[in-house]
Amino acid sequence: MNDSNGYAVFFFPQALEILGTAIRPYLQDGPAGVHVLCHEIDTGGALIEMTIEGRSTEGKVVSLELMVPTSMVRMVVSLHSDGTTFGFSPRDGQPVTALPTVGPTAMPAQAEPQAVPAAASVPGAPDEKLTRTPPKP
């Protein structure tokens, strides 16, 4: 298999423990962790089907299909490349940009949201205010 084409399939640690010695011959270790390198994958169903190309003891090219439950798969990474730098390795010479913090510890947004338009006033319509009432115990 060409190193720049295919998929890296990462598993949950519990899945690797359950699959045990049956999955070990197909695992490869890399900077991002233990994974299975596949030529093709099919994720349409309860099982993820991974097609692995290899060589037999006689040197013949063989195609192997490995199927595991989709619930065991943590992540699938496409390794298709056009020759540019892509992947988990550090990119020398390129500055790392910091991403903004999000979540409960982030600073609140300073600008008014623009996704919802302001309410228009309709002549003759009663003024309505939305209020939230606490749930009854």
Higher pLDDT, 123 or 26: 26
- Which stretches of 24-113 are DSSP H helices? none
> What are the extents of the domains in the chain?
7-78
Q: What's the pLDDT score for residue 1? A: 38
Q: Which residue has the higher pLDDT, 19 or 120?
A: 19
8 Å CB contact between 26 and 52 = yes
State the pTM of this model.
Answer: 0.55
CB burial of 38-68 (b: ≥16 within 10 Å; e: otherwise) equals bbebeeeeeebebbbeeeeeeeeeeeeebeb
Taking alpha carbons only, the member of 26, 25, 23 closest to residue 14 is 23
Give me the helices (H) in the chain, please: 13-19
Report the candidate in 8, 56, 49, 4 with the shortest Cα–Cα distance to residue 31: 8
Rounded mean pLDDT of 101-114?
Answer: 62
